[in-house]
Structure 1
Amino acid sequence: MRTVLRRLLTCGIVVGSLIAAAPLAFAQTTSRDCVDRTVPVTVSERRLDLAVPQEVLRRSGFDRFGPRFETLLCAVRTKQAASALVRAEGAGLWRSAVDRVQGRGPAGGDLTRADDRPLYWARLALTRALRQWKPGFTLPDADRARLINAMETSSRGQDSVSFPPGLKRVMVSGFDPFQLDGDIRRSNPSGATALALDGVIIKTPTGPAIVQTAMFPVLWGPFEAGMVERTFLAQMPKLTMFTTVSQGRVGRIDIERYNGRWHTGLDNDNETRATTIPIPAGIPTVTPQPEFVSTTLPHAKIVAATTGRFPVFDNTSVTEIPAGATTPVVSPTGPTPGSTARAGGGGSYLSNEIAYRTTLLRDALKLTTPGGHVHTPVLQFAPDNTTAITDPVFEQNRTDIVAQVKKIIEVSLA
């Protein structure tokens, strides 16, 4: 049933059925009538008009999603119809991205199927359309924000995670591209991994396991609002294992042993933080909130295994303010008693934060599920490529990273 629904969403049949079933909720109009291009958009959405994003969309065929969504959105006449449309189109975009990466259906262009960037830039086209939409009815700011949030979650696979009975259950997360002001061409191998592994069956000595994945933004606000916990909470008690994945250091993979409570840095909307990680009200947590939370992935087993071309490390280093001190120091063997976190093994950015939030949720639910964070190598272009959006070295690096993360999951399940 889930596969059938996915295909219906991808083909737009669900949206067409909605219009046929509720014609009074839709009208014939155009984007000229209902989109105000002067309405301010986010920093991330402003990058959409640059040459590289447009090339990514054109060469993947994902340039079709923005215009299609605007046309459908402009026909909407009620908030209920808008909500149904947003969820259908968001889920359809996610499924189209997964299908493209996994080789189902036409590629839609000459950009390699394994690329995660079409999903990222197409999503921004849809959220920008919602932000600039002028509906023919009253739409309070709070309702518009809920529509945008629904698009974010549905187009990231966050609200479609479900597991069939009888199989081991593995949940994996990936991230959007980031640091785009430094190089707008950037991809994120963790996002490519999430798209490549969603729904994939992995054989283990004790039976098959199915992987379900979700994507997350490189933005502080959604994390502080509980996006991570809401995605993982319902599934966590039933999981065989979970791992969050992000892009880390050059030329190596790290299994991050400790995740810290502190977060800092500039996100994709150029917002910054330098505070402790807040846990939203209503989310199960540990009291008092710990400064560090550790992985329960079988780190020694992973490091000892042959998983691929990149060396794999059990990273125990953290940055802390020791008990009684005021200055942060690096502790290479992990946190010392009574210290205050300033960075986990994965730093103090959103990579560390998603690991902190998921492993803290595991402990709050009193689970012993293997779970933690895998930091992939930086996905690099060929040394002489400073302008092209792809090249053979870049594509091989991504293929090798995705394959090695999959192998790490297989080793963990064994």
Structure 2
Amino acid sequence: MSGFGGGMFDCDVLVVGGGIIGLSTAYALSRAAPGTRVVVLEKEGGPARHQTGRNSGVIHSGIYYRPGSLKARFAVRGAAEMVKFCAEYGLPHRVTGKLIVATDRAELPRLHALVQRGRENGIPVRELGPAQISAYEPEVRGIAAIHVGTTGICDYGAVAERLADASGAEVRYGARVTAVDRRPWGVAARTADGRVVRARALVNCAGLHCDEVARLAGDDPGMRIVPFRGEYYELGRPELVRGLVYPVPDPAFPFLGVHLTRGVDGGVHVGPNAVPALAREGYGRLDVRPRELAGTLAWPGTWAIARRHWRYGAGELHRSLSKPAFTQAVRRLLPQVAAEDLRPAPAGVRAQAVLRDGTLVDDFLIREAPRTVHVLNAPSPAATASLPIGREVARRVLARLAA
């Protein structure tokens, strides 16, 4: 692609991806360096159409994450900032707190480890017995639990729209990037309609397609996005749940298990199952994109995951195909639930970065190259932590501009 002519730039920073991380980066750039010209290219017709707009809206406390990790630091800071942001702009939100409930004695050591981890991360945690669980959630049953007071809920789609407006960036929708030309003095991107945008630096926040954008820029990301579909139900009797109820997670796998989330609209989401998706935007079981599926199957890490986690994956797949099995998983926490109380709800897809050896990248993965910053893994709690992540990415790209 012939990207440059006459030494002219259309903007200082070009952001690829109009989800919450890309828009937070644009917002942070406007705060850190007023006057910086930012263009955001988003292939969909509006912001936050994929991971950001298809999650359960939880403002995570940071209790699950290894002390000192980017996830822990960004989540704890980001939760407080997200509540403040929503309050400042009048966006729907609520600090609800949540319960993490052990239903089996084998889970107690993991529950106690979470208490310790939460305290190391500076998060207020209260330990509960069965009677105290009922005081918070009368219909929930467990042998022990912890209450995390800083967890909340919001509408991340609304947050993304506000970030787009408040950033002052030029956000171009329907602009899918098909080619990137990087030179020592700048970067140019061409979109599917043939338009070219020239910038002094590029930020890759393409989420489900971030590894593809990295390769377009000429960089080997060293990982691949393997998509996992998260399948949800809506609870037909939302009065059974007051707030947020989670099981004790399995630390061997980066998913939190089937949980119950009362959203800002008053409805209660139940889920998700985490099963392999057959397309990067494979929200339905029959959504298949052969080229993307072939790319996933060709990556050695995919088969390493299958060998290492087949037993866990089989359980997730069983609950995906069997509503009675899914209902049984919910009944461990909420015994009153029956299959007819669960109504199918829209699914989401998680962009899981996987290394060649099958390692599931657990933390944020941000890599830099000349004139470029790639966000290659933004797992949960990315939406919660989006404001501090945006500042971190903005700091890195501004340093690239100054070099």
Q: TM-score, normalised by structure 2?
A: 0.25
Higher share of residues assigned strand = 2
- Structure with the greater relative contact order (CA < 8 A, sep ≥ 6): 1 or 2? 2
